[in-house]
Structure 1
Amino acid sequence: MELMGISPPIWREILVPARYSFWDLHVAVQDAMGWLDYHLHEFRFGESSRDEALLISIPSDDVWDDSPEVQPGWDIPVIEFLPESGDRAEYEYDFGDGWIHEITYLSVEPREKGQGYPKCVAGERACPPEDCGGVHGYQSLLGALFDPSHPEHESLSHWIPRGWGPELFKPEKVRFDNPLKRWEKAFTEEDM
């Protein structure tokens, strides 16, 4: 997967089980990129217009008459829409910031005995911090962080996560949550 609109690119290559649903893939993307899953997401297939594309995500009870239909990600196997090498999907995270990822199915790999999945096997560059304002906000953030004379340098330096740097990424450091536990936390636990 590659985060669109940023150069040099921010990307990840992950291995996921063939049985994964789109909910499971969403959790793996969040973990591999370093997002915190604070915002809504959606997988899109087909048309360039959201109104005409097939949407897979979390269906809402608050549907307007002109709202496109959203299919529940936990009910749909990834292999149903990404069956062949080279197939692609668009994944958007945080509709306010508008982080668009291009997901590309590369290949089927034999399962390694004793290896847990999903697994991040490659990637480059750190994920932008949550709520930094999308591609434009991220570029502004980097400009301020790398310019000690910038009026927001000091405050933004304290705002970003400790140890974060735009070039820092190690695939072996990625830890993946259990998608079922994430689903239960999101949809079955009552607010405290």
Structure 2
Amino acid sequence: MGSSARPRIRHGEGHVAVLRLEVLDLRQPIWRRVLVSMRASLLELHGIIQHSLGQDPTDEHHFEVDGVRYVDPGVADHPRRATDQTSIATLAPGPGTRILHLAATESEPWRHVVTVEQVGPRLVGQRVPLCLDGGGAAPPDDCDGPRRYTALLDALAAPFDPRAAELREWLPEHFDPAYVDLNAVNAQLGRLPKHRPAA
């Protein structure tokens, strides 16, 4: 009789998590599902969120979990509360954990909710971070905050709005608010430091 044993799965170092990133305060949802290393710091997670959603990774930021705030290292008054000193695994050890992330802009902050959907061992050669799925296009550059983006979409949806033609000239060519280019998102994530495949 032939062997029915399953091939052995090789695990790398540490664990990975599947996170759902969702932009708050919008009528039209924008979200991404990403695979990340549980060893990543919150500062690294900030970069992953910003690149996944087409936003500026240099924006000042903070995270909130269970009423505790973890802040941008540049403004932290206590090193334990700095985002470069805290890992995802520390704050989100298992599925169901929700983390609030805020990124400042010149007008109003973008707010994102991060939900841990799955946690498991990291496979050898597994690429992280990696965007697995998503919905809704990233807001255009210099679209600071959800109210401006909502006003932009409202103007584009109104054919007789005098602002619509001007706004279309400002938008990227063929901008579609429902389209997500996962290849482009992953190209951005691939430029981030660390998160290399486990040996």
TM-score, structure 2 normalization: 0.75
Q: How many residues align?
A: 170
Which stretch has the larger CA shift, 124-133 or 79-88? 124-133
Question: In structure 1, what is the equivalent of residue 152 of structure 2?
Answer: 141
Q: Which has the larger radius of gyration?
A: 2
CA distance in 2, matches of 1:155, 1:38: 28
CA distance in 1, matches of 2:124, 2:148: 43
2:90 pairs with 80, 85, 92, which one? 80
CA distance in 2, matches of 1:150, 1:86: 43
Runs of 4+ that moved beyond 4 A: none
Residues 110 and 162 (structure 1 numbering): CA distance in 2 closer, same or farther, change over 3 Å? farther
2:59 pairs with 34, 39, 57, which one? 39
More strand by share: 2
CA RMSD of aligned residues (A): 2.4
Map of 1:88-107 to 2, 5 A cutoff?
88-95=98-105, 96-107=107-118
CA distance in 1, matches of 2:171, 2:108: 16
CA distance in 2, matches of 1:35, 1:162: 18
Q: Unaligned regions of 5+ residues in structure 2, if any?
A: 1-20, 195-199
CA distance in 2, matches of 1:99, 1:131: 12
Question: In structure 1, what is the equivalent of residue 170 of structure 2?
Answer: 159
TM-score, structure 1 normalization: 0.77
Deviations 1:110-149 (A, max 9, x none): 4344332100011101122243242222111012123232
CA contact (8 A) 1:145 1:153 kept: yes
Deviation at 1:103, TM superposition (A): 0.5
Q: Unaligned regions of 5+ residues in structure 1, if any?
A: 48-52, 181-192
2:34 pairs with 14, 21, 29, which one? 14
